[in-house]
Amino acid sequence: MYRINIKARAKINISLDVIRKREDGYHDVKMIMQTVNLFDKINMKKIRKDEIRIQTNLVFLPTDERNLVYKVIKYIKQKYKIETGVFVDLYKVIPVAAGLAGGSSDAAAALVGMNKLFNLHISMKEMMEIGAMFGADIPYCLLRGTALSEGIGEKLTPLNDFPSVYIVIAKPNISISTATVYGNLDIDHIQDRPNTEEIIKGLSNGDLNQICNNMGNVLETVTEKKYPVIAQIKEYMMENSAMGAQMSGSGPSVFGIFKNKKDAYNLAHKLKINNIAKYVYTTTIFNR
Question: How many whole angstroms separate alpha carbon 96 and alpha carbon 10?
Answer: 11
Q: Which residues does residue 87 pair with via DSSP β-bridges, in sequence order?
A: 45, 53
Q: b/e per residue, 141-169, with b = 16+ CB within 10 A?
A: bbbbbbbbbbbebbebeebeebbebbbbb
| Residue 49 to residues 87, 113, 131, Cα–Cα distance (Å) | 10, 18, 26
- Known catalytic residues are 11, 137
Single-letter residue type at 115: N
Single-letter residue type at 141: C
Single-letter residue type at 26: Y
Q: Which residues does residue 55 pair with via DSSP β-bridges, in sequence order?
A: 89
**ω before 252 within 30° of 0 (cis)?**
yes
